[in-house]
Amino acid sequence: MTEVGESRLPARTRSAAWAPMALAAVAALLAAITVVLDLRNGGDIPVAAELDAGWTAVLSGLAQTLPGLLLLHRLPRHPVAWVLTISGLVWIVDGFASSWAAYAVYTSPGLPGASAAYWFYSRFGAVLLLGLPLLILLFPDGRLVTARLWRWLSIVSLALTALLPLLLIVVPLSVMTRYHDTALPAEIAGLALDPFSIDLPYAVWEPVLRVAYTAVLVSLVVPFAVTVHRYRAASPEHRAQIRWLMWAALIDMFVLLVPLENPPAVPAILFGLAIALTSAAIVGAVTKHRLYAIDRLLPATFLYGVLGLLVVGVDLAVFAIAGGVLGERDAALAAIAVVAVVYAPLRSRLWRAVRRLVRGSREDPYATVSTLAERLESAADPDEQLRAVARTLAEAFRLPYVRVEIDRGPGRRAIVEHGKESGPAIALPVGYRGEPVGRLVLCLGDGTTLSDRDQRLLGDLVRQAAAAARATDLSLELQKGRSRLVATREEERRRIRRDLHDGLGPTLGAVALRIETARNLARSAPEEADGMLDQATVEVAAVLADVRRLVHDLRPPALDELGLVRAIEQQAERFRLGGLQVSVDAAALGALPAGVEVAAYRIASEALTNVARHAAASRCDIVVRLIDGPALELSVTDDGVGIGEEVIAGVGMLSVRERAAELGGVCSVSCPPTGGTVVRVQLPLDAVPEVAHA
């Protein structure tokens, strides 16, 4: 069994390989014979014989057969390959039949096959009408559309298209000449052209033929509608394949619109080239070779086709207007001048318009970035800014769906969407100064690709989005910070008012009352007056202590009396009494902003307190120095147990971070491998500019 299977497989492979080669040989032989016959026939064939030069049909046939054979070699069982090949062969045979009929009737009368050749050309050649609609209905996968309604419409369309070729096979010659109101030359009329005719009255044939000729229009309408349905329901890959067919149809349309009649060979050559391009497009689409290149080819073809038609139209208009006034030579010069003046600016404008229509505004990066900046500037709120980003990206890259996600803090994320999600999506991170702040989710759509230039533009727009998002966050944080400052200020004022009103006020009132009572008793009861004065002295001392506490809360007096370094030394001395070795290393700092001094002093005090309470350390080193920026750097290092990863920051460390953040500074807490904890704070001196720093 194994030997038999192995012997059959090469035979099938050889037959599959030889079939296209044999068909190619037949096509080439018939084409060569047709050209020779046309050369022999010359131009002496009567117009009434309705025999065109066969080489025109052969050219169109080769334009289908050769691509079809290439497709057969690649996909031997693909229906589109067979339809393309067979349609091309029928065109070639039709051209050969026309040339042989002319040769056998007029050039060398009496040769055999004249009747069969003319009958095939004039009657059976109508089967060429089936090739294009069948090809469209089977494109691109070789199967009819699966939807029940559209499938039946396709079958009915093909049946109506086949009606005329079938009728032309059996309709008598006399009926055809009467229907078209033409008379064939005697040499043609004498041929046997009714081998399969059915003898029916003209009254029967006339309406049937009228219906058959009208039904040919269905072969154009239904396949077009089916293609539209296929495109709307197709996958991105199949849509790209159908766009290749659309490009071919665009080429054919421009060729048919070109008003060329003389010499007759020119439109025939153009028609053959159009069919060749159509066949090549079908082969490329079916084999999926460079499938998505159509996204650039389609707009370029449309542009240059429109420009070509406009140039021809301008030529004809100038010749028509100026020809009667200036003469033929001057009219030609005028046409050249007008085309030269109109063509250049029109080309650039049409090119930009078509590219923008097909590929979006990405073709003009400056305009895209400018549009985004303008929309961001006019946005009234943060969400409106994000919507501006999503909308601009969708318009610039013709994206069906864009989603912008920006982090707004722990557990909060702002999400804005534009369009409807369809197809696979890609996610791009949005970062600002190396920190992730969100992401973009894009659906590229059907066959859309991003070139290197597009990716650079997208990166620029993403950076704009990141900057806008960050600016929005900073604006929100600034507003919240201002609200907190106002709330903190008012809370501090209320606390001071309460302390003054509820504490110092009543105490001072009581002292004043005791002193007044002592004055009244001074003569009559000196001992009682002296006791009241002693009590007043105690109460005044308590008031002084409260005043000192209030003053210390507003700003530590040690800062004004001793300066920052000596005030920290004073705090360190208190902890040394508890057994902790504390060293303070500081250079000359000069005059510092008051806010920086208070923040540095409070942070150092809080850090020392944390070391004494939680670090179980024996030594602590404090370093205070000025760094470039300019900024004040404060570091507190201990040799304690460090901070575990699972430990949550307490009120003290949160206070340290908040004090640094209030001045725009940074705070870091680390545990080096050698052990202990390092608290490092940098406070910019420009944060509080009311005091000039050295």
pLDDT in tens, 83-121: 888 888 988 998 898 889 888 888 888 888 888 888 888
* pLDDT at residue 13 is higher than 50: no
| Position with higher pLDDT, 375 vs 321 | 375
What pLDDT sits at residue 694?
A: 34
Residue 675, pLDDT > 60, answer yes
More confident residue, 651 or 195: 195
Which H/E stretch holds residue 357?
helix 328-359
DSSP secondary structure string for all residues of 175-190 = HHHHHHT----HHHHT
236 Cβ neighbours under 8 A, 6+ residues apart? 423, 445, 446, 447
| 234: phi then psi, degrees, rounded to nearest 5 | -85, 165
CA distance 238 to 230: 9
- Between the alpha carbon of residue 232 and those of residues 367, 446, 503, the distances in Å are 32, 11, 81
Kindly report, residue by residue over 295-347, the tens digit of the pLDDT: 556 666 665 666 666 666 655 665 555 555 555 555 556 655 655 566 556 55
Tokens matching residue 269: 């050559």
Check residue 213 and give its pLDDT.
86
The 10 Å Cβ neighbour count of residue 178 is 14
Q: Where are the beta strands (DSSP E) in 519-630?
A: 581-586, 619-627
Query: Cis peptide before 429, with omega less than 30 degrees from 0?
Result: no
Give yes or no for a contact between 55 and 118, defined as CB atoms under 8 angstroms apart.
no
Helix, strand, coil shares, percent, the chain, to 5: 70, 10, 20
- Matching residue, tokens 């004494």: 612
Residues 6+ positions from 319 with CB-CB distance below 8 Å:
331, 332, 335
Torsion angles phi and psi, residue 581, rounded to 5 = -80, 120
Alpha-helix residue ranges (DSSP H) falling in 123-217: 131-138, 148-170, 173-180, 186-189, 202-215
- Within 234-293, residue ranges assigned H as helices are 236-257, 265-287
Q: Which two tokens stand for residue 109?
A: 């009368």
> 609 pLDDT exceeds 60?
yes
DSSP state of 568: H
Q: Which pLDDT tens digit goes with each residue over 170-212?
A: 888 888 888 888 888 888 878 888 888 888 888 888 898 888 8
Number of CB atoms found within 10 A of residue 461's CB:
21
Give the separation between CA 175 and CA 199, rounded to whole angstroms: 9
Instruction: State the residue for tokens 């086949």.
Output: 162
Q: Is the pLDDT of residue 216 over 60?
A: yes
Rounded to two decimals, the pTM is 0.52
Per-residue confidence (pLDDT) for residue 341, from 0 to 100? 62
pLDDT class of 690 with cuts at 50, 70, 90: very low
**Dihedral angle of Cα 11, 17, 20, 25, to the nearest 10 degrees:** -90
**Percentage of residues in the chain with pLDDT exceeding 90?**
1
What pLDDT score does 536 carry? Answer: 77
Please give the Cα distance from 469 to 290 (Å, whole number): 39
Q: What is the pLDDT of residues 564-608, one digit of tens each?
A: 888 888 888 888 887 888 888 887 777 788 888 888 888 888 888
More confident residue, 420 or 64: 64
Number of H helices, E strands in the chain: 23, 9
Task: Please report, rounded to a whole number, the percentage of residues in the chain having pLDDT higher than 70.
Answer: 68
Instruction: Assess whether pLDDT exceeds 80 at residue 679.
Output: yes
Confidence band, pLDDT 50/70/90 cuts, at residue 16: low
Region for residue 327 given its phi and psi (left: phi exceeds 0; alpha: psi -120 to 50; beta: otherwise): left
